[in-house]
Structure 1
Amino acid sequence: MFEREFKAKLEEKIKEYEEIVFQKEKEGLLKPSARKTYLLHANNFIRWCNGEFVPGDRNKNKNKNKNKKN
């Protein structure tokens, strides 16, 4: 029960955060690249909480291939 409530609250807060970030961009306080970065990392955190994202996982295969070449 707690996990479901936590995830619902997290989804609510990420929407609030996204609205704030977009507003700051409209006000000229954030560049589009900064907005993209803020939202990417916030959404990655949400995905991590949901078991859908592993930090650094994309680089795992790159490192394996790099080690094979050496």
Structure 2
Amino acid sequence: MKTDASTIKEIERLLQSYEREVMLAQDHGYLQPNTTRTYLLHSRNFVKWCKDEFEPGGRNK
């Protein structure tokens, strides 16, 4: 893990909030579905990276 468990917990809480905002933006027509998928994929990958479960360019868990 690249950071401590309490920080990961807060990052995951914030990710959930971010995901809701992104989905609302799509629902209101501000984002296209492909853009939404990209936003969510990359933010989720960042969280995985923080948890040492993602390596850019590598085989990931």
TM-score by length of 2: 0.88
Name 1:44's counterpart in structure 2: 45
Consecutive unaligned residues of structure 2, counting only runs of 5 or more, are none
Name 1:12's counterpart in structure 2: 13
Rg larger for: 1
Amino-acid identity (%): 37
Structural RMSD (CA) = 1.2
Q: How many residues align?
A: 57
What's the secondary structure of 1:29's corresponding residue?
coil
Runs of 4+, deviation exceeding 6 Å = none
Please state how far the C-alpha of 1:24 moved relative to its aligned partner. 0.1
Q: Is the helix fraction higher in 1 or 2?
A: 1
Name 1:27's counterpart in structure 2: 28
For the residues of structure 2 that align with 1:39 and 1:52, how far apart are their CA atoms? Answer: 16
More RCO (CA 8 Å, sep 6+): 2
